[in-house]
Structure 1
Amino acid sequence: MAQCRFSSSLLLRLRSARRFSSLPNPTTTQNDAELVSNILLHHHNPFHAMESSLQLHGITLSPDLLHHTLLRLKHNSKIALALFHYAKSLPSPPPLTSHAFHLLIDIVAKVRQYDVAWQLILEMDRHNLTPTAATFLILIRRLIASGLTRQAVRAFDDIETFVLTRPTAQDFCSLLDTLCKYGYVKVAAEVFNKRKHDYVADVKMYTVLVYGWCKIGRFDMAERFLRDMIERGIEPNVVTYNVFLDGICRKASLHPQDRFERTIRNALKVFDEMSSRGIEPDVTSFSILLHVYSRAHKPQLSLDKLKEMRERGICPTVATYTSVVKCLCSCGRLEEAEDLLGEMVRNGVSPSAATYNCFFKEYRGRKDSESALKLYRKMKEDRLFAPSVHTYNILVGMFLQLNRVEIVREIWDDMKESGAGPDLDSYTMLIHGLCEKQKWREACQFFVEMIEKGLLPQKVTFETLYRGLIQSDMLRTWRRLKKKLDEESVTFGSEFQNYHLKPYRR
């Protein structure tokens, strides 16, 4: 009954005399879209998709309202498609826009309904809307994400047929970029080599391919494309060199010492080549090198490189400072890290959650709960930054380990209130920590909360709790928990088949 009253109030508000299409207020439209999407989500019939949309009978749908509602239904393709068809079936349907078609094509292609996506592209003509290259690039991105690279390339070739104009060099670069981002660099290189004479190859295309080869660890191929680029008379820019530098440094093994030295030599060669071509390294170039020093635990080298940046007039960013802070903290030089934190603030660079996490990790290693708690509460009072779920997880794990359950409760409540979490890792860590302390009832409470939120527990979590309850003669609690799991098995479906438990003997 409560749900029906809720629906009625939504309908009364939306069935107003005003037309949404005349002088739309963006805030009002977004609020109405939230209400419409709630109606559809609360009254969706999975066996009769159109019935969900018929809940909106009498509501005026404007192009803006339709667009914003589809945005809120992006994870519910069936309902989004039903709403779209309902909008077209109205006696006075709202003018359908390219934006609405693009959004729906992305929604259905995301769940691999490629036939439906193609039908929508064909349907655009019937609404006097011409598909553009951007329309096809939406579909192409989803095809590549699913590993259907050949179909994606064919879709790119179809652009000229449907759009009646040849794809631009920018469109071609977008195809290469998407292939590289999803790791299909060999396909991207093959497509580039076949068609580089059809499009004027530029620095952006080569930079994309250098990035792609670096992403899969083929630095020899990245360098080959860099040299090919220069031979063709295309000047690399600072972004090209930063991509190449990042590839050399990010995944390099830095231990033992000779590996670190080899990586630094290779990085400095890139710096030298940049200088020889009249390209000044920027803050990103230095940040990449500082990240290497941080990973190798070289605090003095990090501070020296930071000093060199200042001398060159390059202003460090939050990422730059965080790399040095992390290095200092991990090497136990907390006072210098705190001084650097103060310098950041004085220079107008706001520390991020990752910056503060460096301190919390060091406090956790030292089991210095008081310093961690002092910094955490100071951050809460001063609202210095928004903690990430990772920040909360570090603190929850630390105070669980130190058996400070009351502090764990405080931090957990703060995390829920902030909206940052909890996530699967948060619940897993908390439940395992409570099991170690033999706080079975609390562990069960959070286990139930976890599955009610739609988070499937790891099998080891499930078995740890099961074994503990049996050993502690809490069979009644186990039966209640098992009943709850049976109720929730509809949500998780076949995933629960992996949780078959053999009878456990004490």
Structure 2
Amino acid sequence: MEKKGEKDNIQKVKQMQRICRLHYIQDEASRKQELKVEHNHNQSECGMIDQSEQGMIDCPLLKPLSKGYNEQDLQEISWILSSSDNWCTMREALEKCTVHFTPELVVEMLHNCCIHGNAALHFFSWVGLQTGYRHTTETYNMAMKISGRGKDFKHMRSLFYEMRRKGCLITPDTWAIMIMQYGRTGLTEIALKIFNEMKDNGYNPTGSTYKYLIISLCGRKGRKIDEAIKIFQEMIRAGHIPDREVVESYLCCLCEAGKLSEARRSVDSLCKAGFTIPLSYSLHIRALCRAGRLEEALSLLDEVGAERSTLDQYTYGTIVHGLLRKGRQEEALAKVDSMKQTGIQPTVHVYTSLIVHFFKEKQMEKAIKFFKKMQEEGCKPTIVTYSALIRGYMNMGRVGDAWNVFNHMKLEGPAPDFKTYSMFISCLCRAGKSEEALQLITQMLDERIVPSTINFRTVFFGLNREGKHDLAQTVLKQKLALRSKRKFLT
């Protein structure tokens, strides 16, 4: 066809190829989701899912909508938006289709295309102009979230103004989305301004609003401890009970900053708000251990009277982890044995801490021994456990074994997440295997996991160090291509 100059037919064939590829990706995604659901179900049966880890999932802040759309319509629009990198071509196809657009369909479409913000936001703008269709609060909220995820804050704010100009209902969740998106990138000064603007406009902050602002203020980037204390106290006074994720983030921040008396006062206020003493103290002890304040944690443990046995069960893994971090191996192993004598078997947290410790001490055989033992006892490894194995093998120069663990995760689950990919990329680049790290960038994109600027930078510098300058340039091109896909560029 190229020889005959049949350009139109060539384009049709290419479009059919893309559609077939999309079918394959959707089938694969469906299969992986089924595996993931089954895996999570098995974990929950074993009592292994930590509720605090579940709380770390990025809450969409969008209320579930009734399924007011046809699944075939959703697939047709998905095909169109994936059939080309050119918006004009996509728009022509959209104008020819006979799909009946509803807010529910648009929200689902935006959700599915969130990694490709450019196409999703162009689609959002186009569908808003169609006869008989009107955007809702939910569609605007989803579009704003996509803009924020792509760090396109200017467009996120313009959507907010457009929403208000067109008389669309602005809810506390709308404000919370802006606060969350600014805060997660460390722009906490702007997040605070949005929070105050929200109150000035007569909106009462919800539990979600307080949650995402406090977590942002306590984060590594843009940390503002005094403001976090003020907002946390305001949240309690307003009658909102913070969830475990907020409390852990807040207490860790206070303990790391050395504000121990404030942490203690906060724990007392949680007990008054309805938290049980074992739960409140266990969160405080965990925060102290994470901040490297083991002695203070052990001292707090000794203060508890009648509920000490319950608290021991809550804090068992945290104390073992804290002892190992301080190099107090014998005390940690003694703690494990004492808990076994009371009928409490080591948890996945304890086993993972032991694996990390022995790899750090260059005692690979012992680390692998504990990994095998946990499996024999029916304790399923988590993503954190497998990541510890990968890091440990890489630090021992066992690159092949690290890849075997990683590939096992991809085939058998749990699937590698952003943290696993990032850690493995860094380890490979340090080991002079930057070309292999580049493969992971591609795999992340295939799995709809967005690589960070640091991921791209690590691989770019690694390839240049290894003299692979041409490949390093492809990394820059990948980064720019991803940026253009995620932002609303006119």
> How would you bin the TM-score normalised by the shorter chain?
0.5 to 0.7
Residue 332 of structure 1: how far off its partner (Å): 7.0
2:322 match: 292
Is 1:34 the counterpart of 2:78? The answer is: yes
Equivalent residue for 1:187?
227
CA contact (8 A) 2:179 2:195 kept: yes
Task: Compute the displacement of 1:56 (Å).
Answer: 1.3
Which of 53, 77, 90 is equivalent to 2:91?
53
- Residue pair 2:301, 2:308 contacting (<8 A) in 1 also: no
Q: Which letter does structure 1 place at the counterpart of 2:78? A: E
Describe the superposition over 1:443-467 as per-residue Cα deviations: whole angstroms up to 9, x where unpaired. 8x9989989999564446425427x
2:429 corresponds in structure 1 to 428
Q: Which amino acid aligns with 1:224?
A: E
Instruction: Return the offset for 1:489.
Output: 6.9
Q: Output the aligned Cα RMSD.
A: 5.1
Q: How does 1:155-174 map to 2 (within 5 A)?
A: 155-159=194-198, 166-168=204-206, 171-174=209-212
Q: Could you report, residue by residue, the CA deviation over 1:100-133 in whole angstroms, capped at 9, with x for unpaired residues?
A: 2111111223445545434434544677752221
The Cα shift of 1:174 comes to 4.4
Letter of the 1:38 counterpart:
S
- Whole-Å separation in 2 of the counterparts to 1:391 and 1:149: 23
Residue 86 of structure 2 corresponds to which residue in structure 1? 43
Amino acid at match of 1:155: I
Partners of 1:448 and 1:211 lie apart in 2 by: 34
2:215 to 177, 186, 194: 177
Residue 87 of structure 1, CA deviation: 0.5
Task: Report the Cα distance in structure 2 between the residues aligned to 1:5 and 1:199, rounded to whole angstroms.
Answer: 60
Higher normalized contact order (CA 8 Å, seq sep 6+, divided by chain length): 2
| Rg (Cα) greater in structure | 1
After superposition, what is the alpha-carbon deviation per residue over 1:357-394, rounded to whole angstroms, capped at 9, x for unaligned? 66677777778899x69x959x969x7655859999xx
Per the alignment, in what secondary structure is the counterpart of residue 35 of structure 1? helix
Count of equivalent residues: 410
- 2:275 corresponds to 1:273: no
Please list, as runs of the form range in 1=range in 2, the aligned pairs for 1:389-428 lying within 5 A after superposition. 424-425=425-426, 428=429
1:91 matched to 2:127: no
**Would you say the 8 A contact 1:326–1:358 is kept in 2?**
yes
- Structure 1 unaligned runs (5+)? 15-20, 46-50, 253-262, 393-419, 435-442, 467-480, 494-506
The answer as to whether partners of 1:211 and 1:243 remain within 8 angstroms in 2 is no
Decide which of 324, 335, 348 is 2:378's aligned counterpart.
348
What secondary structure sits across from 1:308 in the alignment? helix
| Structure 2 CA distance for partners of 1:33 and 1:344, relative to 1, 3 Å | farther
Aligned to 1:319: 349
Mapped contact 1:169–1:199 kept (Cα < 8 A): no
Cα distance in 2 for partners of 1:136, 1:3 equals 43
Report the counterpart of residue 141 of structure 2 in structure 1.
Answer: 102
Q: What is the rounded CA distance, in whole Å, between the counterparts of 2:476 and 2:395 in structure 1? A: 40
Rounded Cα–Cα distance in structure 1 between residues aligned with 2:74 and 2:13: 22
1:306 to 332, 336, 356: 336
1:159: how far off?
3.9
Partner of 2:25: none
Q: Which deviates more from structure 2 when the two are superposed, residues 226-235 or residues 68-77?
A: 226-235
Please say if residues 283 and 315 of structure 1, whose CA atoms lie closer than 8 Å, have aligned partners that are also in contact.
no
Deviation at 1:287, TM superposition (A): 1.4
- Listed one character per residue, the Cα deviations across residues 35-86 of structure 1 (whole Å, up to 9, x for unaligned) are 13303x52236xxxxx753441122134343223322432444433321121
Tell me which of 178, 183, 187 is aligned to 1:139: 178
1:82 to 119, 122, 127: 122
Residues of 2 paired with 1:315 and 1:129: CA distance? 55
What fraction of aligned residue pairs are identical, expressed as a percent? 16
Partners of 1:305 and 1:145 lie apart in 2 by 38
Q: 1:110 to 1:7 in 2, by over 3 A?
A: same
Could you say which residue in structure 2 is the equivalent of 1:17?
Answer: none
Query: Deviation of residue 142 (structure 1)?
Result: 1.9
Determine the structure 2 residue equivalent to 1:249: 289
Aligned counterparts of 2:178 and 2:398: Cα–Cα separation in 1: 52
1:211-243 deviations in whole A, cap 9, x for unaligned? 436336545424324236537972664443333
Structure 2 runs not aligned, ≥5 long: 1-6, 23-65, 446-450, 481-490
| Aligned-partner SS, 1:281 | helix
2:31 maps to what in 1? none
- Equivalent residue in structure 2 for 1:6, among 14, 17, 21: 14
Match status 1:230 vs 2:265: no
Deviates more, 1:81-90 or 1:54-63: 54-63
Alignment partner of 2:252 out of 214, 226, 231: 214
Assess if the C-alpha contact under 8 Å between 1:290 and 1:320 holds in 2: yes
Gap change, CA 1:106 and 1:246, over 3 Å in 2: same
1:317 shift after superposition: 2.9
Contact 2:183 2:191 in 1 (8 A): yes
Distance 1:360 1:146 in 2: 28
Deviation at 1:175, TM superposition (A): 3.1
Does the CA-based 8 Å contact 1:54-1:86 persist in structure 2? no
CA offset at residue 149 of structure 1?
A: 3.6
The TM-score, its normalising length taken from structure 2, stands at 0.64
1:358-397 to 2 correspondences below 5 Å: 376=404
Q: 1:321 to 1:36 in 2, by over 3 A?
A: same
Residues 457-504 of structure 1, C-alpha deviations (whole Å, 9 max, x = no match):
4446425427xxxxxxxxxxxxxx76x8779876667xxxxxxxxxxx
Residue 27 of structure 2 aligns with which residue? none
Conserved? CA contact 1:29–1:64, under 8 Å: no
**Matched residues in 1 for 2:286 and 2:413: separation?**
28
1:188 partner letter: A
1:5–1:422 distance in 2 versus 1, CA, 3 Å? farther
- Aligned in 2, Cα 1:213/1:97: closer, same or farther, shift over 3 Å? same
Q: Which amino acid aligns with 1:85?
A: S
Give secondary structure in 1 for the equivalent of 2:311: coil
| 1:302-335 C-alpha deviation (Å, 9 max, x unpaired) | 3322233344454543222211234355557777
Return the letter of the residue paired with 1:286: Y
Counterpart residue number, 2:103:
63
- The two structures have a TM-score, normalised by structure 1, of 0.62
